A and B are shown apart, each in its own frame.
Chain A
Amino acid sequence: MMEELFRMTYPVASADYVNAGKVSTDIKRRLKQLGVGGDVLRRVAVASYEVELNLVIHSLGGELCLTVFSDAVQLVSADVGPGIPDLDMAMREGYSTANEEARSLGFGAGMGLPNMKRNADEFDIKSELGTGTTITMRFNLPS
């Protein structure tokens, strides 16, 4: 197991559209301070923003955990529900169950989960109805 250099967990509130994105802004700034840059920083930032917005738009609340290892950055999003009824549909581009409020802010195009998968080097999603959804993403750091 590679050495853990940094870890921080951020709570993300359901339907808090005003603050949505602030966690990702902080994550990006901290990674920059830790010397992560270029393409990896950009991919982590985009995936982090997408997953944070998903927590705000779709979940009943949850948290986003950033861990920096010597060889990778890891993002884990864990919420307390409601869970995704059909994961295959949710992973499809263009499929969205976002509400009007999210759409009026420019989101809910059904690109979030596929975009996270595209940006991460490793992507895993587990969801159980009534329990919640956990998304784990790893981004390899150049050696």
Chain B
Amino acid sequence: MIGLLEKHILIEVIFLTIEDMVRVLSARVLRGGDKLDTPVYTACCSDLMSDVLAFVDEKTVLITGLTNPHVIRTSEMLDLKCLVFVRGKVPTEDILDSAEEQGLVVITTKMTAFSACGLLYDAGLRGVPVPLAWGTEDK
């Protein structure tokens, strides 16, 4: 799989383009096909939007099996770059249209979340930096 990949290295930080991710995940592009050259440095995986809102602090990629409108609204609040739906899930057209409206790239793969994360990690992507714990007293 890696042999097919063109890895990009910028000041020792590996990043993939969304097009690389599509290749790694054998994914199908649902929206945002004109932005596949967007660089991606990190990713996160969750079906819990509460946690995504609480722990994601950067413009990243969300890998999820949840296909309701709140995934798109959460992505908009956080300025995410790309949504990856796993287990072959495809949201309804109106949800996809609202993703397109906000400039999100949306792709779907038949892989499970576990396999998708594993392959992307192997390809060089890393998780979003998350503080080990932050309490309500800290800011």
Contacts and interface: CB of A to CB of B under 8 A. Distances in A.
Contacts, number: 75
B12 interface: no
A45 B66 CA distance: 21
B73 A106 contact: no
A106 B66 contact: yes
A42 B66 CA distance: 22
Interface string B24-65: 000000000000000000000001111101100000000000
A105 B134 contact: no
Nearest to B136: A114
B136 A92 contact: yes
Interface of B: 47-51, 53-54, 66, 68-71, 73-74, 76-79, 134-136, 138-139
Contacts of A46: 53, 77-78
Contact of A106 (B48, B76, B79, B135): B48
A18 to B, nearest CB: 8
A28 interface: yes
Top 6 closest pairs, chain A to chain B, by CB? A109-B50, A106-B49, A21-B73, A111-B54, A45-B77, A115-B54
Most A-side CB within 10 Å, residue of B51, B73, B138: B73
A106 B71 contact: yes
A121 B138 CA distance: 11
A118 B48 contact: no
B76 A111 contact: no
Nearest to B49: A106
A127 to B, nearest CB: 16
A21 B70 contact: yes
B47 A42 contact: no
Nearest to B46: A106
A84 B51 CA distance: 22
A106 B77 contact: no
Contacts of B53: 46, 49-50, 111, 115
Contacts of B74: 21, 49, 106
